[in-house]
Amino acid sequence: MTTTAKTDAPARKRRWLRLSLIALGIILVLALGALGGAGWYFSGEVIDVDHSPDEYSLTVQAVDEDTVTLPREEDTEKAGTWGLEWEDGQAVLGDVVASDDETVTRSLHGVLFGELAAGTVVRVDKWTYRDDPSSALGLEYETVDVPTELGDAPAWYLPGDQSTWVITVHGRNASPGETLRAVETYDMLGYPVLAVTYRNDEGAPDAPNGRHSLGEHESDDVVDAVEYALANGADDVILHGWSMGGATASTAARKLADTDAVKAMVLDSPVMDWNSTLDMQADDRDVIPPITWTAKRIIELRADIDLDDLDQRNFAEEFDMPMLLFIDTADETVDHTATLEFAELLPPDRTTVVTTASGHTASWNEDPVAYAAALEAYLATL
């Protein structure tokens, strides 16, 4: 009896150890699966293409020739100039002229197209102008096809008498309409403008993997646009990029560094470092660091990129052209501190920094006159 008891005890201990190791393995597998699943989801939020329709969540309370009254919300009471978009129309909003606990009344600079009436369901639009340069700004333009390695990409071409062309580059999941806020200034000064599309845009070729590459491969399409400009009369170009368009334009400029094709650059709320921007966005969503790290690795794998190659601070010495940076310190989408650090690495005599505090790519909206003046003063130095 005693011998049997001594023999059973180690056996039970070994069985318990095996079961514990199996349980630990199962827990580890489940944890890694959950980590990978969360990382995959977060990666999709970054690189998946999304051109779904805008949501209209506001209802116009009243409208006349000079004003429009909207529900009082953060977006409707912001100072500055903004667009008002509805399903088949667009208007331009000016300053707040009156408000109460429930509504905000703003000046109405004009209805660009469509019919605006009380009861219309609308949204406040940061781009301000939509549709095309003619309906938005009354400017002459034509749609041209820019040859790229994936096929022709449509672009708006606005003629001008300068030998330097401006190539405007919009952000992620956006369109050339995002760039119209600066086009009027360039047109007034005689610069031809090429407002481009790139892979995965509506009307442009799809990327082979159907995903955004955060500026890495989109930059090849911008390089093609530069070559198109040079082949059609441009002596050189200015690249003007917004948000991910800033990352795209910067990476294109590095690829063109030996050609002297890029005379100058203008970047508006640019993504100068995706690592810190993804960290910021993850913190805002209470995503824990292990998931963020995993998501970054998945992004690199799925998009065929290296995020360190898109940290423009690592390549600051390659940017020897004059640079104008619009940096918004209230940006909740892009890490603006990386852009400030990038600016510190550039030659101070060739770098102009304009700071605002109205949100991502909203420097123009905060004060269109000041934005145009800063852009015009910068162009005069070229």
**53 domain-assigned:** no
CA angle (182 as vertex; 177, 184 as ends), nearest 5: 95
**34 domain-assigned:** yes
Give the bridge partners for 18, in sequence order.
Answer: none
Are residues 135 and 99 in contact, defined by beta-carbon separation less than 8 angstroms?
Answer: no
Same domain? 87 vs 180? no
Kindly report the CATH number assigned to the domain that includes residue 348.
3.40.50.1820
Classified as helix, coil or strand, 79 is coil
Same domain? 354 vs 372? yes
Same domain? 146 vs 42? no
Q: Of 167, 85, 168, 169, whose CA–CA distance to 130 is shortest?
A: 85
Q: In what order do the strands lie in the sheet with 142-148?
A: 142-148, 151-158, 193-196, 164-169, 236-242, 262-268, 323-328, 351-356
Same domain? 221 vs 370? yes
**52 domain-assigned:** no
Identify the domain containing residue 6 by its residue range.
1-47+275-303
Q: Domain end: 125, 144, 170, which one? A: 125
**212 domain-assigned:** yes
Q: Domain end: 74, 97, 125, which one? A: 125
Are residues 53 and 76 in contact, defined by beta-carbon separation less than 8 angstroms?
Answer: no
**102 domain-assigned:** yes
Strands 164-169 and 193-196, sheet pairing: parallel
Kindly report the CATH number assigned to the domain that includes residue 91.
2.40.10
**266 domain-assigned:** yes
**241 domain-assigned:** yes
Q: How many residues does the chain have?
A: 382
Are residues 336 and 269 in contact, defined by beta-carbon separation less than 8 angstroms?
Answer: yes
Same domain? 169 vs 285? no
Q: Domain end: 286, 303, 320, which one? A: 303
Q: Whole-angstrom Cα distance, residue 205 to residue 72?
A: 41
Indicate the number of domains in the chain.
3
Per-residue pLDDT of the chain (382 residues; tens, 9 = 90+): 555 555 566 666 555 555 454 544 444 444 445 566 777 777 899 999 999 988 999 999 999 999 999 999 999 999 999 999 999 999 999 999 999 999 999 999 999 999 999 999 999 999 999 889 999 999 999 999 999 999 999 999 999 999 999 999 999 999 999 999 999 999 999 999 999 999 999 999 999 999 999 999 999 999 999 999 999 999 999 999 999 999 999 999 999 988 999 999 999 999 999 999 999 999 999 999 999 999 999 999 999 999 999 999 999 999 999 999 999 999 999 999 999 999 999 999 999 999 999 999 999 999 999 999 999 999 999 9
